[in-house]
Every structure is written in structure tokens, then in C-alpha cells.
Amino acid sequence: MKTIVCDVCKRVIQQPEHERNYFHIARRDICESCKDQMDLILKPVLRTKQPFTYAWFDQTLQDMLEKAIGRGKFETPK
Ligand SMILES: [Zn+2]
């Protein structure tokens, strides 16, 4: 079985099951708890974005992920 490591928190994901305990987003693997954090940050951004485009969404997601990978975690904005 291949080992999957979360790109953000660098934890090994035990018994990885795609879309269940790890997620493949913007060519990165992220664990469930990081995904939860990401969703928390993403939701208010998505709600206020007008007009919504997928190009914008992809870019935002990617920027967010790259930043999180640099810090080792997703940071909830204050
Ligand atoms: Zn993680």
C-alpha cells in the first residue's frame, strides 16, 4: 500500500481512502483535518465573491494551499 503524506501538516495518513480521509486538491494531498480547516477559511471567501468563476476559484484554492504548505498549516484569518 502506498504511503500518503499530507502536504500541509506532513502527517502520514493511515489507511488512506480518497475523498474519505484524504483529499487531492490542486495536485496536492491533504488530510481530513487540514481539509476541514481549509473549508472554514474558504467558505466566507466563497460567499462574498461576485461574480464567481472557476478560474478564480482554482487560483484562490491554489494560493491558499501553497501558503498553508509554507506554514505547515492552514491559518484561520482573524
Ligand atoms: Zn494535514
Residue 24 Cα to ligand 1 middle (Å)? 12
Taking residues 49-78, report their average pLDDT.
Answer: 91
Question: What's the confidence (pLDDT) of residue 1?
Answer: 66
Residue 62's nearest CA partner among 25, 24, 36, 23 is 25
d(CA 46, CA 31): 21
Instruction: Name the pLDDT band for 78 (thresholds 50, 70, 90).
Output: low
Structure confidence by residue, pLDDT tens digits, 13-51 = 999 999 999 999 989 999 999 999 999 999 999 999 999
Residue 31's nearest CA partner among 49, 52, 16 is 16
Question: What's the confidence (pLDDT) of residue 2?
Answer: 79
The SS3 call for residue 26 is coil
pLDDT, the chain, mean: 93
Q: How many whole angstroms from its chain centre is CA 22?
A: 10
The SS3 call for residue 55 is helix
Question: What's the confidence (pLDDT) of residue 75?
Answer: 85
Q: How many whole angstroms from its chain centre is CA 40?
A: 10
Reported pTM: 0.86
Residue 42 Cα to ligand 1 middle (Å)? 16
Residue 54 Cα to ligand 1 middle (Å)? 24
